[in-house]
Structure 1
């Protein structure tokens, strides 16, 4: 009976023929021991054949790529060059030329924006033909100076109003009441009945080091549009102004040239670091147009803070 071989190995062609004939009738004879001198060469041949296998080639490539990707590979480790001032300067210049940064005015406005409020007063106007009073609305601006809902604005914005409402930066609208006035500086202090949970008060700064030429922004609701931001500079200090309506004379005012119009009254005058240095109160325009001609006035924040019972700087 023919026996199925369990293993086979390569034989010379002649030996293969003889082996096939003998295997038909008898068990294959044990193979003679291979010469010792030939074994190394045969092993090398098998290794070379294995190395030519595609799977092994791709595995070697993957291992090499992984080694090169590792940052701590010994052959990739090199001494790091120290940064020089020229390197830092080049990096800064690259950022300045490739990235648009917000302006100082934009950053200042964004800093004080959460404390800005729109102030609206319902005023009794002229009577109509039937004798009924026509109601009008006066719009101005205010700024939160204490996070309990204490707001500074101009007295002329709310004076004579039958009711006052304020709208905070997040859209919350609330009734408000006058809690103090300072007529000589055209200031009124309001208190809102409802306030946002995360209400932020503006940061106030002394005007002691304020100088002509310092950049400022005026923020408010000119003609009810806003919040609107305009930028300019401090034009002068300790100015006087006489109101054309009531003849009221105010002194120690900050003169500025950032655009302001009706509706800006009561809004903050802000430095480039986002600090409030004044409350916009008037514009100089000798014509009936009541529009901005380049000269605005603000009450120094020291006076405004005292109206709210805040200690001076």
Structure 2
């Protein structure tokens, strides 16, 4: 029995080859419109394209401005504008600092300010065999950075040789260049001075009143430099030495502890400024120790002894 071929090797009849598949009828439901010639009508342009076509320059400027605004906003976000401090902010910061920070005391600040200018003054005499022995220890204060030093006359009087010890430990000789016996003052010139020597700051006593805080700096009994705190107890006091040989006038009375060895040292304010040179203590007994009353020569007199102009 003959089998029917699944595929034919011959060509299709001409009628089959020329047959055309009819085009589907246009769908009246489609939204595609055509022009009069039957071609599809152009689609309407979007609003953005219309704007670009009508005002291209305006749109470009607006886009540029928008981009600049975005860049500025980004910059401010990364680098915010500095905050303007108000007085309330400053007050709160100060209060917080006072509550949390440990501040140095007035005595500490005053001591640190004057310490580089305080010196130890030691007098020496020779014994019969030529050996030297200390004649006494006192204090001095540098008032000119070239080595000019104020001290008491009774500290250096009777000594054959003087030695100065500066705050940094350097030792040198010194000589007396001027005296003012009526105020128990002497001016010394150091033979050699440190390169970084600092002179003390002097302050007029015009505005000094009882109750002002003052500090005595020196070498009591050779120990020091030492500091003691007190107040001004009075002004324009007079003091007569126990021997009755001399009376000092116009003195500052203070109650900061002072003992032998403090003589010639500075009496300073809370700012570390020198208002006087410690010269004596009052003790009704025969003991030369402090019982609460000390005296200092006003710095105006001391400066005059050094040949310096008054305040």
TM-score between the two structures when normalised by the length of structure 1: 0.71
Deviation at 1:131, TM superposition (A): 9.4
Residue 184 of structure 2, aligned match among 186, 196, 213: 186
1:87 maps to which residue? 89
Residue 214 of structure 2, aligned match among 199, 213, 216: 216
> Deviations for 1:255-307, whole angstroms, at most 9, x for unmatched residues?
01111111000000111222111000001111222111111000001111111
SS state at 2:143 partner: strand
1:244 maps to which residue? 242
Q: How does 1:257-272 map to 2 (within 5 A)?
A: 257-272=255-270
For residues 101 and 165 of structure 1, the distance between their equivalents in structure 2, rounded to whole angstroms, comes to 37
CA contact (8 A) 2:152 2:184 kept: yes
1:36 maps to which residue? none
Q: 1:75 to 1:296 in 2, by over 3 A?
A: same
1:155 maps to which residue? 153
1:105 maps to which residue? 107
Deviation at 1:92, TM superposition (A): 1.2
Deviation at 1:83, TM superposition (A): 3.4
5+ residue gaps, structure 2, are 1-73
2:308 maps to which residue? 310
Whether 2:139 is the aligned partner of 1:121: answer no
Q: How does 1:125-204 map to 2 (within 5 A)?
A: 135-204=133-202
CA contact (8 A) 1:116 1:168 kept: yes
For residues 242 and 74 of structure 1, the distance between their equivalents in structure 2, rounded to whole angstroms, comes to 77
SS state at 1:285 partner: coil
> Deviations for 1:42-94, whole angstroms, at most 9, x for unmatched residues?
xxxxxxxxxxxxxxxxxxxxxxxxxxxxxx76656666654343332221121
CA contact (8 A) 1:124 1:161 kept: no
For residues 136 and 197 of structure 2, the distance between their equivalents in structure 1, rounded to whole angstroms, comes to 24
Is 170-179 or 101-110 further displaced after alignment? 101-110
TM-score between the two structures when normalised by the length of structure 2: 0.71
For residues 86 and 75 of structure 1, the distance between their equivalents in structure 2, rounded to whole angstroms, comes to 26
1:227 maps to which residue? 225
For residues 249 and 76 of structure 2, the distance between their equivalents in structure 1, rounded to whole angstroms, comes to 76
For residues 266 and 151 of structure 2, the distance between their equivalents in structure 1, rounded to whole angstroms, comes to 9
Q: 1:278 to 1:83 in 2, by over 3 A?
A: same
> Deviations for 1:199-222, whole angstroms, at most 9, x for unmatched residues?
111111111111111111111001
Q: 1:77 to 1:195 in 2, by over 3 A?
A: closer
For residues 215 and 115 of structure 2, the distance between their equivalents in structure 1, rounded to whole angstroms, comes to 12
Residue 284 of structure 2, aligned match among 264, 283, 286: 286
Q: 1:73 to 1:255 in 2, by over 3 A?
A: same
Task: Answer with 1 or 2: which has the greater Rg.
Answer: 2
2:11 maps to which residue? none
5+ residue gaps, structure 1, are 1-71
Deviation at 1:112, TM superposition (A): 1.1
> Deviations for 1:110-134, whole angstroms, at most 9, x for unmatched residues?
1111111000011468xxxx99998
SS state at 1:219 partner: strand
How many corresponding residue pairs?
Answer: 238
